[in-house]
Amino acid sequence: NELKDKNIKEIKGIAVSRGIYKGKVKVIKDLNKLDQANKGDVLVTIMTRPQFNACLKNVGAIITDDGGMLCHAAILAREFNIPTVVGTKIATKVLKDGDLVEVDAEKGIVKIIR
């Protein structure tokens, strides 16, 4: 994968629910693995769907590849007050389980710490 070769330190997207959160990444692309998101994880996914609702309440932040101000993730993030950056295009390709990131949902920037 060409994105993993580049030394990407920052991902930009649209800030849809304000806040700053630092935590460990959990990438979930498969709806059958939603139960793998632990309390406080930074959920990274292509886009959320209603099946994600139960797991979203526990996560510390959300990052998606797709979406905008009115997408499912944005609406739920504002409802539950979870810092969220959507529309990054590349989050699921760059971030791996266990990565430590800082989600700056004031500016729409995700910093990869390690």
Catalytic residue among 12, 22, 24, 72: 72
Question: How does strand 100-104 pair with strand 84-86?
Answer: unpaired
Q: Where are the beta strands (DSSP E) in the chain?
A: 10-12, 14-17, 20-27, 42-45, 61-64, 84-86, 100-104, 109-112
- Please confirm, yes or no, whether 2 is among the known catalytic residues: no
**Which residues are annotated as catalytic?**
72
